[in-house]
Each structure stands twice: as structure tokens, then as C-alpha cells.
Amino acid sequence: MTLLVERDYGTPGSPSPGLVTLEIDGQTVLVPEGTSVMRAAAMAGLDVPKLCATDSMDAFGSCRMCLVEIDGKPGTPASCTTPVAAGMQVSTETDRLRKLRQGVIELYMSDHPADCATRPGAADCELHGMAAKLELADVRYGEGHNHLDSVVDTSNPYFAFDPTTCIVCSRCVRACDDIQGTFALTVTGRGFESKVTPGTNQLFFDSDCVSCGACVQACPTTALQEKTVIEMGMPDRTVLTTCAYCGVGCSFKAELKGDQVVRMVPYKDGGANEGHSCVKGRFAWGYASHPDRVTKPMVREKTTDPWREVTWEEAIAHAADGFRRIQETYGVDSIGGITSSRCTDEEVFVVQKMVRAAFRTNNVDTCARVCHSPTGYGLSTTLGTSAGTQDFKSVDKADVILVIGANPTEAHPVFGSRMKKRLREGAQLIVVDPRRIDLVRSPHVEAAYHLPLQPGTNVAVINAMAHVVVTELLVDRQFVDERCEDFDNWAAFISGPENSPEVIAPAAGIDPEDLRAAARLYAAGPNSAIYYGLGVTEHSQGSTMVMGMANLAMATGNFGREGVGVNPLRGQNNVQGSCDMGSFPHEFSGYRHVSDDTVRHVFEEMWGRTLESEPGLRIPNMFSSAIDGSFRGIFVQGEDLAQSDPNLQHVKAALGSMDLVVVQDLFLNETSKFAHVFLPGTSFLEKDGTFVNAERRINRVRPVMSPVCGKHEWEVACDLSRAMGYEMSYANASQIMDEIAAVTPTFAGVSFEMLDRAGSVQWPCNDTAPAGTPVMHVDEFVRGKGRFMETPFVPTPERATRRFPLILTTGRILTQYNVGAQTRRTDNVVWHPEDVLEIHASDAELRGISTGDWVLLESRVGATSLRAAVSERMTPGVVYTTFHHPVTGANVVTTEFSDWATSCPEYKVTAVQVAPTSLSELDERALTGIDDLSAVTGS
């Protein structure tokens, strides 16, 4: 595709169902009521000149370029701020208008660098385009007072701000305010002194700017420009694809010059992001060409040997021989595989097929085990399917937003911006989180209630909210009677005094009156929506909590329409998809149990193999079986187990016990230290397939270049399967999706052709819902009746003790991503070069700790060191860190405790002690904890 330039209609569309007929330049135009004259003209193919208007933001009316004449009206109103009216007759091109516009553009050009038109990004400059369109031949004004000696701000690693080309149209300021919601930019000064200013006369880097890129995208000149464009020049072609960071799944235009990516620009027609982006997706893609990329297969006999580059054939044969030997000696179930939520649906599907059909075992699991497996269990049990209920757009209709254990502005920033916009419009916010996350109070957003609960008491809190709803007679009886079952038993349970806010308050650390008020607010709605993250799932009662939230939403009738629902904010780009594809050891694609004969026979017929009817091992049980000696070989697709999984001593002991560890990844990582075969993987820029985001949206991932390692990951899985004696081959990724559709009812209507035509689609997509399903459970729940589940609160056994008196909880920050394999290899490290431990001032003072001090963080299973940051965001008794850097190894201290139903690790609750330390002292202790495997294996 040549460079895709999206049409800019100047102002946003109107949602009004009513239509208005008017005439523009002699053309009859039919548009929704409330549409601007500018947009109506654009819809008729008539582009009114503009500079300050763009259709991603409300009209501003400052540049005076879009003036029009309207019969019967005096003057020349701005078409961007003038709404259409029935019978209106508009002229957009007259001599009078042309002269006015020429006068305006001439003034702009009189204070604009002469060489701007020859700069690398000049094609981005709408000002020059407009001057050419208006046939401005000359600027009559001589050199006078101007802004041409302004200093360029290059402080941001990804874009530069050149005030000399700025026309102070405020598009950047409004983008930062209205789209991103950060309010980092202002126009300071008046008249000639007006200028765009980050923060309080700061550099971009020093301001509150979060580098989302919205200002760069909005800028109509080259004042705000990507540094890659400045360095490489303008791109000349576009490939539409999907971001590979978080579960929002933003659509991007990968813009290239030849085979080189110049920039990633958010796609306006992207269903998930609608033209917005964050610092990771927009700018942090350089890792794909980082010199650390491993591009050739490698093998070694022992993990102490150096790696040896080999051909693909040798590497595959080495892996297959090893797996076969293990199975011959220790049985068919002595090996397994792990799929990755970073990979496409097609890659994941093929790997789980390889494990089930070629390895002939159900020992396949996925990294979703350690994040959202409780979502699958909880929502499936109560509602009938393992997925969130809404599309992202739904939040625009929410009146009350309940955010539990999620930090959208950091971890799902594009959706976080959308949520903040709705909050600025007046929706009420309840935040349930031990930390005072940014949403609790940020520019023009303030939570009505922040319930700073103690980690591990989620279920007590959600039960108490439901208790208030039931005992204060706030239940939506009609919804419950018509749509749900098992209500009476549940209502009797939840009404029990043990679930009252007053009883749970001491354990939860929440003011019971605040909790009651929050519950009443949620029940009042009328549209109340729950959004949650890993602060819900990564607990010993993660699945119970998911069911508890579903109970609360059912009791208040908050399902089956826009603005409501229970919505997981998935961590990785394809967590939903990897789960959909049958990555769990107990179920095939579409969440159907392996013991279901009818379902299994569908796969047996398709794959030509008898399949195992009993569930396989989950990841933690694979590790334990490895240490015991019954599980001896593993294929790891794109997951750094030895950094991301809990209780790393145990993980490393397990990996170190295996005879064969095969890692497929972009980079050598912590897990590959235990590997015998390394198979190079492909970055998202090389992948061809689909991702499924948190709203069940299936989006195409299109390659912008060939795999640098020479093979697609699904081809490698096919090669390994064949070498293991099972014939598996596809001509392309599209064929894999066709097979997925053939065996998975919720994907039955999906194909690459369909996605290329529709853009994206939300499953279920089949004969019943050929255009997909943005909102689920509309008339009835997937399981028929929504099922109330009794959810007694059972405190985690992981508790603060005299020796470990603090509770550690973990999370992510905006600029880094999970284990940091990608973002650490980009300029994002300038914002977050290391993990730090956030600690409340009182806990810090008690221990003599100041911000910047090195501290020892120790739990009953391990210790690590990092710097402290004293923070009022923390609740006393709770400390927090991220796990983006392997040198910190935060998961050295997390424990073996996990969700009772799914074994999802309890990352969010670890009893720890924090003490000041010196680096040298800590290094010694930490190394003992991390690397001495004999302490774990007993060997």
C-alpha cells in the first residue's frame, strides 16, 4: 500500500439520529443533526481550508481559515464551529473567502522559516499545503519581529518541538487535554508572545508529558515532529497492523521508507484506539531491530556450554530428538509446551496443536496462567464465557465506573485516556486499590470514593458492596428474576453479618461508611461498569473475586447494554487470543473441555490423531514435576519464565532439572540461561496473523518485513511437529485461521479476508452474529441464566508477620512493559532505568529509609535489592514495586501461593521486610537467594 493518508473531516461526527438536509456549493447534503458545516462539506467531498481543526477534537475556531458564506447570514462564520441547519445554503469558495484566507495564510507564512518546505517532514506541514492550495505566491511583509530564533526542544527521546514552525493553533494543547487527558501543554503569553509551553515553562522531558504522541499527530506543521522523520525523511508506504504491547490492541499505520519503519502512527479507524496511542506503541518499537536480536538458531549440549549457531534443520532435529528420547525413557507426559500471549492466534494455535497432536499430551499451558486465568474461570462460571462483556467504546455511556485492581493510565493508557474523558464529562469514579493511583486524583478527574483496601481483601470488599446492595434493597429485581438463577441462596449468604462493611472493615482497612456510599453509588448507576486488572486476578481468591464482581453486576442489572458490564483489562496484547486458542491444559479452542467427547472428536477428525481426554499439567505443576523428575522437557514460546513467574528459585530449580529446554524468543533472556535449544522468534513487525484484545476484538497483524530469522514462528512449530512424526503444514497464516474457524464456534465467521474487509471483529462471530458481538449477554447470558455464586472471603495464608511485617504488591508503569525485554531495548529507559520500591513515609521513617537509599527486600522465599522511593501514594504497611528489570528480580521474593481455582500466582500479596542495606552486602545475600539452586532442590 502507498502511504495511507486518512481523510480529516475537520470536526468529530455527530451521534444524532436525526438528519438535516442543506446545500453546500450547490450540492445537496444529508448529514446528522449537530454536524458542523465543515464536516458536512467534507462528507460531500468538499475540503474547506483549515489549520486549527481536526476531526479528533472538538472545534476551536481560532485559525480563521475555514470561513464560509451562508445565505441570509451576515459575515463569514467559521465552518468548524457552525452547525448545519435545515435548508442552509453554504458557499465555501468565493473570491471574498479566497482573499480572506490568503490574507490569513500570508500572515502565518510571514513568521515561518523559509526553509521549512525543504525539511525532511515538510510533507506533514498542512500550512505549506494550504498556502499552495490558496496559491499564495509571495509574502508581502518584510523581515520584522518574529519567532525564528526560538530554540528547538529535543529533550524528548522520540520527538522534537521546533517553536519556529509553530503557529500556536492549540491543536497540540487540545490533543493533550481532550484526547490524552494529561494537560501537560498550555499556551502561555498573549498576542505576539503566545507560545506553546510544556508544563510551567519546562522542556518536554521535564514536564508532565507522557509522550503519547497525540500532540505530534495533531500538529498541522512540523513544529512537533518525530525524530525518525527528521532523520530519515517522510515514509512512502503504509502497512496497517496492531500494536504488540498491552491488551488494548491499538491499530497502527506502520509507515515505511522502503523496508525501514519510519514511524508508527495510530490508525483513526482502529476499533480499539480510534486514532490514539501511548508511548510504547507509538514510539517504543525500536527493539525489533536491536542488535541483541538473535537471528540464528542455536544449540548446546549443556547449559554451561557456549551457544553454537546451527541451521534450522539441525536445531529442529536437535529439539525433536531430545523430546523423543525423553518420551521414550520417561513416558509421553514427560514433556510439554507453553504458549505466549505475545504471539499471534495462529502461532499459539499451532503450538498447542503441536503439543496435543505431535507430543501427544495435554501438557500445554500459557502465560495467561500467571495473569488472567481467574478471569476465564470466574466469568465462565457465572456468565458462561471466558471474556469481558463490553467493547471499549461502551465506557462512553457509563455513569459510574468502578476500577478495581487496575491502573489504566499506566498499564492500558489508551483506554485510560478514554475513561478519563468520560470522567471529565461527569461520570462518577470509584477506585478500589491499595495505592492512590493517578486516577484517584489527576487533572480534572477525582474519584468519588477511593477504597484503599489491604492487599488480599478484595473478596471481602466486593462481598460487602453486594451486602449493601442486597440489605438496602438496591437489587434490580426485574433483571435478576428474568435473567439470573440461584439468587435467593446467594442473597441469603451475602446478607450475612460477616459480609457487612462494618465487620470486614478492620481486615480490609476501609472506612465502612465510604464502602456503603460507594456501593450505593454503583447501584444507583444507572449505567455502572466494572473495569479490573491483575490486582483482582493475582490473588489466592482471584477467581472468587471475579465471580464476586459478576454477582454485584448481576444484582444491579448491569449487563447486556452499553455502559455496563464486567471488563478485564488484559495485560498482554494477545492474552485473550492465547486463551481463546486452547492454550490451557484442560480445554480446546473456544473453552471446551478436553474430556468432552463430541468436541474432542471434532479435533481428532481435523487433526487425524487420537487426542488425550484428560487435562495436562499447569505451569506450576510442570515445575514441581520437573524437580521431582517426571517432567523433563519443555518448549517455551516467548515467555521469560525465569523472570516473570513467581518464586524464581523454584522456577530456576525446575528449569535446571530438565533434560531439554527449548526457547523460542527474540532475545536471549533469563529462561534461555537454562535452555539447550534457542529458536529465534519474530517481532510483531514480521508477524502475519491476528491478535485478540481485551474487548474480544480480532485484529490483523500484518508483516512490514520478512522474518529476520528466515521463518515464521508457526513454520517452526510445523517443522518441529513433522520432526516429531506428525505432519503439520500450512501454506500461510490465513490457512491456520481457517482451521481455527472450522473447529471453534465463536470464530466460525472469521477469516483473513473477512478481517481485511471489516477491519476487525469482536467474537463471537458466526452465523448468529456475522458482524461480531461488541456487547455480550444482551438478551440472555451465554450460559442461559446468569448464575449467582456464593463467594465466601477466605484470607490468604500469606500474612504479615513479625519477621515480615509489610505486604508487597507489584505492578507496571507506563513506559516499561512486563519483563522489559522490549522496552528496556528502547529509549523508554530514560524514564524508568530501574525498578524502585515505593514505601509509605511512616514505614520508611521507622526503618531510617529515604528516597534513593538501597534497601533489602526480603520475603520467606528470597531477597533482592533495589532503591526506595518514599511515596504518599502507598498505604502504610504496603510496599510496591515493578518487575521490569531482571537485575532486580522482584519475583525472587514472590511466593508459591496461588489462586485456588486456576493456580494463578498471588503476585499481589507477599509478606516482606524492608531494611536499609549497602549494595555490597545485598549482592552477597541476594545472590545466595537467587542462584543457589541446591537450597531448593535439596541436592
Partner 1 sequence: MSELTQDIIRMGNQIVDQFPHLPEEKKVEAVATHIHKFWERRMLGALYEHIDGGADDLDPVVIAAAAKIRSDD
Residues that bind partner 1 (CB under 8 A): 333, 362-363, 493, 540-541, 544, 585-586, 593, 595, 614-618, 620-621, 623-625, 627-628, 630, 790, 792, 794, 896, 900-901, 903
Shortest Cβ distance from residue 622 to partner 1 (Å)?
Answer: 9
Shortest Cβ distance from residue 50 to partner 1 (Å)?
Answer: 59
What is the rounded distance in angstroms from the CA atom of residue 321 to the CA atom of residue 863?
39
Shortest Cβ distance from residue 563 to partner 1 (Å)?
Answer: 32
Shortest Cβ distance from residue 792 to partner 1 (Å)?
Answer: 5
CB of 540 or CB of 664, closer to partner 1: 540
CB of 334 or CB of 558, closer to partner 1: 334
Helix axes 713-723, 345-353, angle to 10 degrees: 10
Helix axes 458-471, 487-494, angle to 10 degrees: 110
Q: What is the 3-state secondary structure (H, E, C) of 842-906?
A: HHHHHHCCCCCCEEEEEECCCEEEEEEEECCCCCCCEEEEECCCCCCCHHHCCCCCECCCCCCEC
Q: Which of 412, 366, 379, 691 is nearest to 537 (CA)?
A: 379
CB of 269 or CB of 896, closer to partner 1: 896
Distances (CA, A) of 416 to 15, 403, 622, 654: 22, 11, 36, 38
Shortest Cβ distance from residue 794 to partner 1 (Å)?
Answer: 5
CB of 228 or CB of 898, closer to partner 1: 898
Shortest Cβ distance from residue 551 to partner 1 (Å)?
Answer: 14
Shortest Cβ distance from residue 580 to partner 1 (Å)?
Answer: 19
Shortest Cβ distance from residue 639 to partner 1 (Å)?
Answer: 20
Q: Which of 247, 801, 856 is nearest to 533 (CA)?
A: 247
Shortest Cβ distance from residue 899 to partner 1 (Å)?
Answer: 9
Residue 849 CB-density burial (10 A; 0-12 exposed, 13-18 middle, 19+ buried) = buried
What is the rounded distance in angstroms from the CA atom of residue 123 to the CA atom of residue 229?
10
- List CB contacts of 926: < 8 A, sequence separation 6 or more: 856, 862, 863, 864, 865, 889, 892
Shortest Cβ distance from residue 595 to partner 1 (Å)?
Answer: 8
User: Which residue, chain included where needed, has cell 496461588?
Assistant: 898
Write out the E strands in 271-379: 298-299, 308-309, 335-339, 364-366
Q: What is the number of H-type helices and E-type strands within the chain?
A: 30, 38
CB of 384 or CB of 557, closer to partner 1: 384
Q: Which of 558, 584, 168, 135 is nearest to 368 (CA)?
A: 584
Q: In what order do the strands lie in the sheet with 69-70?
A: 27-32, 19-24, 89-91, 69-70
Which amino acid is located at 383 in the chain? L
CB of 738 or CB of 896, closer to partner 1: 896
Shortest Cβ distance from residue 333 to partner 1 (Å)?
Answer: 7
Distance of CA 909 to the CA centre of its chain: 23
What is the rounded distance in angstroms from the CA atom of residue 213 to the CA atom of residue 159?
8
Three-class SS state of 395: helix
CB of 823 or CB of 859, closer to partner 1: 859
Cell numbers at 127, concatenated: 500550512
342-378 CB burial, b ≥16 within 10 A, e <16:
bbbbbbbbbbbbbbbbbbbbbbbbbbbbbbbbbbbbb
Shortest Cβ distance from residue 560 to partner 1 (Å)?
Answer: 28
Whether 761 and 754 have beta carbons less than 8 Å apart is answered as: yes
CB of 153 or CB of 587, closer to partner 1: 587
CB of 71 or CB of 488, closer to partner 1: 488
Whether 239 and 702 have beta carbons less than 8 Å apart is answered as: yes
CB of 98 or CB of 593, closer to partner 1: 593
Which of left, alpha, beta for 448 (phi over 0: left; psi -120 to 50: alpha)? Answer: alpha
CB of 509 or CB of 585, closer to partner 1: 585
CB of 297 or CB of 455, closer to partner 1: 455
What is the rounded distance in angstroms from the CA atom of residue 895 to the CA atom of residue 650?
9
What is the rounded distance in angstroms from the CA atom of residue 885 to the CA atom of residue 902?
27
CB of 265 or CB of 901, closer to partner 1: 901
- List CB contacts of 271: < 8 A, sequence separation 6 or more: 251, 391, 697, 699, 759, 760, 762
Whether 548 and 554 have beta carbons less than 8 Å apart is answered as: no
Helices in 633-787 by DSSP H: which ranges?
641-644, 648-657, 713-723, 733-743, 752-758
Shortest Cβ distance from residue 368 to partner 1 (Å)?
Answer: 15
- List CB contacts of 777: < 8 A, sequence separation 6 or more: 383, 389, 559, 560, 786
CB of 222 or CB of 363, closer to partner 1: 363
Whether 70 and 87 have beta carbons less than 8 Å apart is answered as: no
Q: What is the 3-state secondary structure (H, E, C) of 489-552?
A: HHHHHHCCHHHCHHHHHHHHCCCHHHHHHHHHHHHHCCCEEEEECHHHHCCCCHHHHHHHHHHH
CB of 390 or CB of 902, closer to partner 1: 902
CB of 511 or CB of 790, closer to partner 1: 790
Residue 867 CB-density burial (10 A; 0-12 exposed, 13-18 middle, 19+ buried) = middle
CB of 267 or CB of 674, closer to partner 1: 674
User: Which residue, chain included where needed, has cell 514552525?
Assistant: 165
CB of 206 or CB of 896, closer to partner 1: 896
Shortest Cβ distance from residue 386 to partner 1 (Å)?
Answer: 14
Three-class SS state of 910: strand
φ, ψ for residue 913 (rounded to 5)? -120, 145
